[in-house]
Chains A and B, each alone.
Chain A
């Protein structure tokens, strides 16, 4: 084994290990905010793995979109849901008795499939060493030629998701409908003792206390 091989081994196990550690954290971190930070670690680890496989464009996008975008978005969401005085955000795990065996079964089935399959290596592939130069240009050309339809469809889907997310998360205009009291679950106001005030100034908690 040459030094280059040793470097490969070392790099893979180091980055892969960090990724897996992050994944473990996602599952077992006691507080959800820590789990989210662990996800960030795992995502950065995956980005490193992309780098090892010479997927430089993906590396960048993984960092930008996932680590920079999605993870931060989730962090924001957690902070939005977190209310002061609520006594800590919901964290921890449950269902481990069901979850662990189920996961192990899945792991074994897929891992066995991976190991026992005969992979068909195309000529020119299977090189561990990164190719010379950048392959961003090829990806760009592929996106605008062979995969143009998928590209356009994805853009449409993104637009739909954008609109959908706005519609779903928007505040209700009519105060009488869909107030917390109608859902059958104890509303925020009565649990925390404070009255949530919607941005448009409509007081929704008062109705519940009059019930």
Chain B
């Protein structure tokens, strides 16, 4: 059996799958934190892309892609902190964690 060698495409497809699952989690989870989990998945898939491009498309000494991924991780940490703070606040205000209940502005 001849399999194509593991290359860029493998990682990109895997990354697309991860992204799709993240999106699916954002759309379907009932708990507000579930949305956060989905977002983390999507960010990770993006990071995977960056690292894969850096690894496969450019020489080993050019690592800007990895630096970029580092930035994304830092920002993801910020996002998680602020997101959780918002959810906590929302819970304290409304006593629920279902985003479907956040309809105060809907007329």
Contact = CB atoms under 8 A, between A and B. Distances in A.
Do A and B share a direct contact in the complex (Cβ within 8 angstroms)?
yes
B85 A164 contact: yes
Contact of B27 (A16, A36, A61, A95): A95
Contacts of B87: 77, 81
Interface string B48-89: 100110111111111110110111011111111110111111
B71 A128 contact: no
Nearest to A126: B56
Given A58-B51, A81-B97, A126-B57, A27 B89 contact: no
A94 B71 CA distance: 33
Majority secondary structure, A binding face: helix
A152 B39 CA distance: 24
A26 B27 contact: no
Contacts of A8: 5-6
Contacts of A70: 40, 76-77, 80
B64 to A, nearest CB: 6
Nearest to A95: B28
Interface residues of A, number: 98
Interface in B1-39: 2-3, 5-14, 16-25, 27-31, 33-34, 36-38
B77 A158 contact: yes
A47 to B, nearest CB: 9
B37 A150 contact: no
Interface in A2-24: 5, 8-9, 12, 16, 19-20, 23-24
Contacts of B62: 122
A180 B63 contact: no
Contact of B85 (A36, A169, A178, A185): A169
B6 to A, nearest CB: 5
Contact of B29 (A35, A46, A53, A80): A35
Given A110-B19, A128-B5, A168 B40 contact: no
Given A19-B18, A39-B41, A185 B89 contact: no
Contacts of A121: 56-57
Given A36-B37, A54-B60, 9 more contacts: A9-B5, A53-B51, A58-B73, A61-B70, A70-B77, A77-B88, A93-B28, A161-B78, A185-B94
23 contacts: A23-B22, A46-B47, A49-B11, A49-B48, A55-B51, A55-B54, A66-B44, A73-B84, A77-B88, A90-B97, A93-B29, A94-B100, A99-B27, A102-B27, A104-B20, A122-B57, A122-B59, A139-B63, A158-B77, A161-B78, A165-B82, A168-B88, A183-B104
